[in-house]
Amino acid sequence: MANKAPQIPGIAEFIHKIKSGEIFTEIAKEITESQLWTSTFRHGYADTPRNRVLQIASNVWLHLHPVKMHRHALRIKFTWCMGGITFLLFLSTVVTGVILMFYYRPVGEYAYYDMKYLQYDVPFGMLMRNMHRWAAHAMVITVWLHMFRVFLTGSYKPPREFNWVIGVFLVTFTLLLSFTGYLLPWDQLAMWAVTVGTNMARATPFLGNEGPFAEYVGVTPRYDARSLLIGGSLVGPPALLRFYVLHCIFIPLIAGALMIVHFWRIRKDGGISGPL
Amino acid sequence: MAQAAAAPKKKVEGVPEKLHVWPYLVRLEFLCALVVIIALTVWSIVIDAPLEEAANPTKTPNPSKAPWYFLGLQDILVYFDPWFAGVVAPVLIIVGLMLIPYLDVNPKGNGYYTYHERKVAIWVYCFGFLVLWIALIIMGVFLRGPGWNLFMPWQYWDPHKVVALVSVDLPYSFGFRDYTWSAIFGGGVLLAYFGIGTGVYFFMERKALKSVGFLRMFLKIQLALIMMGIVIKIVLRIGFNVKYIMVTPWISI
Ligand code: HEM
């Protein structure tokens, strides 16, 4: 029973390592102790309390979180996860929206045909458009639900009054984001929904040409609150350009800034509210 | 032993009140994000976003509807002039919402679900949100057809449906034919509504005046009266064919 097979000690050892699972520990060690890894992450890899803290505190993407939190705030039954989902949907619209911007021109002659092009010729164009639109609609719903939950748990009470106020700005901007985007496909649905919506500005007291007391201010259909919004006396190409700039630059910047303040305040106000 | 069994379940020994966010919260967020993104992707693969024919300023669709989330406001247009339904009402909603934390001084129910400790607040919010906002949106999306007329889901959207406009102004039905006098009458009715409403509220809550403060109570009851007033106006229009309460050359309510 002489073992005639050539003995290469390396292989036996190697197979043993695979069988015992030791190999994975070694690979992990090799990676996590490499210069590439240690220069990227500012904390060790081992699951120690210290590293759990650093994982949050030394990571720019996670550092808005506290490092520790109350057990009750983890319950989905309490928060419904709605604020977080709203934020996630916002991020989804940012990503898909930037992709749409590569193909879309906010010009009367082009806009509608760019939509067609996106839908039929651009790879994954239809999917990007769908995701952008449905995420935007879903965000409107989730932000309402988030607000409802915050009301039901009384989380606007001291010391969180101001964060509620920021929240009301956020829900307003969420609706405005959705509304300005509604015009961009430049189809019948878009044009007339926005006509109905912006017609209201015409009735602004003092500042709209059909509003109460307008005659004392002297506003006209060409120069009033509505024409400021849509760049003319009806929803035409200037309105398209205006809504595009508002939709892609102005409102997202403001809403994004307010979200940062919102998250920062959650922490400064003592984290998610709870019975204490 | 027996004592341990009777102890409240919550106080499990060895479970700390404070947890590390990594991994406990971050993994939850990750899972939640995964589910949402998958759902969004599937939804977007299955259902296409609408794209109708190219915009045509000479072809007005009937009905022309605002985006669905504004249909509650568009529906209020039936009962109020545009300056109120389209401008003042949204501003009041936004300002009113922002004022909530400063008007609701009930210290109870901070950070947990409770109905019994804040019944009025819950009722007011649920009524405003679920009825005046959500229910009106559902009605606007599904039941409003050509001419903004009401159609049941099984009814044909007849673009030529004619609904007789039989509503008259409140002062008129009280016999006022003269412009000035009917304006005075209508203004009086409104003043009486707000005045009596405010007076009754302050009388009933007179004990709270000191702790809550005059301004708070005043704003609270004005907002409540406006919200109720909108409902009253809707009821008056549908039930009693009242068009305006007050008519003046500048504004009519
Ligand atoms: C773009 C919109 C919004 C985003 C992305 C957002 C995000 C969040 C997130 C992630 C939280 C953590 C807890 C949770 O998920 O429930 C939160 C909490 C909170 N939000 Fe928002 N929110 C938005 C709009 C609003 C609105 C409209 C309101 C109210 C008018 C509001 C008021 C609050 C308050 C008071 C808290 C603290 C809740 C607590 O301590 O229990 N937020 N928000």
CA B48 to centroid of ligand 1, rounded, Å: 30
Question: Residue B15: what pLDDT?
Answer: 64
Do the Cβ atoms of B139 and A184 come closer than 8 Å?
no
CATH code: domain A71-268 is 1.20.810.10
Please state the φ and ψ torsions of residue B129, each to the nearest 5 degrees.
-75, -55
Scanning chain A, the segments in alpha helix (DSSP H) are 9-20, 22-32, 35-40, 49-57, 76-79, 82-101, 111-120, 125-152, 161-183, 188-199, 214-217, 225-230, 237-245, 251-268
The set of residues, in sequence order, having a beta carbon less than 8 Å from that of A152 and lying 6+ positions away, is B113, B122
- Give the whole-angstrom CA distance, residue A253 versus residue B134: 29
pLDDT band at residue B3 under the 50/70/90 scheme: very low
Task: Specify the pLDDT at position B4.
Answer: 45
What is the pLDDT averaged over residues B146-157? 90
In this model, does residue B9 exceed pLDDT 70?
no
**Cα→Cα distances B116→A147, A257, B108, B119, Å:** 20, 37, 10, 6
Cβ A85 under 6 angstroms from ligand 1: no
Please give the Cα distance from B173 to B34 (Å, whole number).
62
Sole residue written with tokens 């008007």: B103
pLDDT at B203: 95
Chain A residue numbers with beta carbons less than 8 Å from the beta carbon of B37 are: 88, 92
By the 10 Å C-beta count (0-12 exposed, 13-18 middle, 19+ buried), A251 is classed as buried
**B 57-96 residues with CB < 8 A to A:** 57, 59-61, 64-67, 69-70, 73-74, 81-83, 85-88, 94
Q: CB contact, 8 Å: B49 with chain A?
A: yes
Residue A236 CA to residue A106 CA, distance in Å, equals 11
Q: Single out the residue of A137, A200, A39, A158 nearest to residue B106, CA to CA.
A: A158
Scanning every residue of chain B, which has its alpha carbon at the shortest distance from the alpha carbon of A192?
B64
**Burial (CB count within 10 angstroms: exposed 0-12, middle 13-18, buried 19+), residue B171:** buried
pLDDT at A12: 84
pLDDT digit string, tens, across residues B107-118? 999 999 999 999
Does A145 lie at the interface with B, CB-CB under 8 angstroms? no
| Biggest distance spanned by C-alpha atoms of chain B | 87
Q: Is A242 in the pocket of ligand 1 (CB under 6 A)?
A: no
| The pair of three-digit structure tokens given for residue B248, joined into one six-digit string | 């003046």
Q: What is the pLDDT of residue A4?
A: 63
* pLDDT band of B99, cuts 50, 70, 90: very high
Instruction: Flag whether pLDDT at B234 surpasses 90.
Output: yes
Instruction: Report whether pLDDT(B170) > 80.
Output: yes
The domain segmentation of chain A, as residue ranges, is: 71-268
Q: Where are the beta strands (DSSP E) in B14-80?
A: 18-20
Could you say which DSSP state residue A223 is in?
Answer: B
Average pLDDT, chain B: 90
Ligand 1 atom 18, closest CA: A83
Query: For residue B39, how far is the Cα from the chain centroid?
Result: 29
Write the DSSP string, B133-197: IIIHHHHHHHTB-GGG-B--TTS---TT-------B-HHHHTT--SHHHHHHHHHHHHHHHHHHH
Of B37, B51, B59, the CB nearest to A115: B51
Q: Which residues of A touch B59 (CB under 8 A)?
A: 188
Q: What single string gives the DSSP state of each residue in A133-201?
A: HHHHHHHHHHHHHHHHHHHHTTTTSTT-HHHHHHHHHHHHHHHHHHHHHHHTT-BHHHHHHHHHHHHGG
The pLDDT value recorded for residue A17 is 86
Q: Nearest residue of B to residue A50 by CA position?
A: B20
Q: What is the CATH number of domain B66-156?
A: 1.10.287
Domain residue ranges of chain B, discontinuous segments joined by +: 66-156, 164-253
Residue B6 has pLDDT above 80, yes or no: no
CA B224, CA B16: separation in Å to the nearest integer?
Answer: 44
Ligand 1 neighbourhood includes A156 CB (under 6 angstroms): yes
* Band (B1; pLDDT cuts 50, 70, 90): very low
What interface predicted TM-score (ipTM) does this complex get? 0.90
- Tens-level pLDDT at each residue, chain A (276 residues): 555 666 677 888 888 888 888 899 899 999 999 999 999 988 888 889 999 999 998 888 888 898 988 888 888 889 999 999 999 999 999 999 999 999 999 999 999 999 999 999 999 999 999 999 999 999 999 999 999 999 999 999 999 999 999 999 999 999 999 999 999 999 999 999 999 999 999 999 999 998 899 888 889 888 999 999 999 989 999 999 999 999 999 999 999 999 999 999 999 998 899 886
End-to-end Cα separation, chain B, in angstroms: 72
- DSSP annotation of B54 reads B
Q: pLDDT by residue (tens digit) across B11-46? A: 555 666 888 998 899 999 999 999 999 999 999 999
Handedness of CA A116, A119, A125, A130 (dihedral sign): positive
Residues with Cβ within 8 Å of residue A262, at least 6 apart in sequence? A163, A166, A167, A170
pLDDT on residue B173: 85
Upstream peptide bond of B23 is cis (omega within 30 degrees of 0): yes
Instruction: Give contacts of A175 with chain B, Cβ < 8 Å.
Output: 69-70
A71 CA to centre of own chain: 26
Is the pLDDT at B224 greater than 70? The verdict is yes
Q: Is residue A69 helix, strand or coil?
A: strand
